[in-house]
Amino acid sequence: MLQAQQRLRGLEAEACCNASHAVLDRLAKWIVRLHEGSAGAPLHITQAQFGQMLGVQRTSVNVAAARLQALGLVRFGRGRVRILDLEGLRAASCCVAPAASLADRAAPVRAPESKSFLQAPESPLRRIA
């Protein structure tokens, strides 16, 4: 039962992340997660596959990947991703902490008080760029 609750919390946190963070931040997060799961081996994944993972078009991934590459954090090439600055990538990513702890820290959702809800939340990359 506890394992099912933890899994549900993780899914809730992932859904909140997908709804509230920019493609750039989520791409950085997934590159870090895949890197940690691969024991540092080069990642063999295409931008189209990232698009499927993130639920966005490949062109959106292409724009985000170009920005990460311009910042010197990663290098993309023909279905391959090489991390150049792991700590910088972690700083740029959203939600790198385990999903269960994110769900514990998640603020309750409330209705917006003004039209400012139309503006995207500030990206962590804006803080390091």
3-state secondary structure 6-61: HHHHHHHHHHHHHHHCCHHHHHHHHHHHHHHHCCCCCEECCHHHHHHHHCCCHHHH
Identify the DSSP state of 78: T
**Residue 72: is its pLDDT beyond 50?**
yes
Q: What is the pLDDT of residues 35-47, one digit of tens each?
A: 988 777 888 999 9
Provide the whole-model pTM.
0.64
Q: Report pLDDT for 128.
A: 58
CATH numbers and ranges of domains, the chain: 23-103+119-128 (1.10.10.10)
**Residue 53: is its pLDDT beyond 50?**
yes
Q: Report pLDDT for 112.
A: 46
Contact 62, 69 (CB under 8 A): no
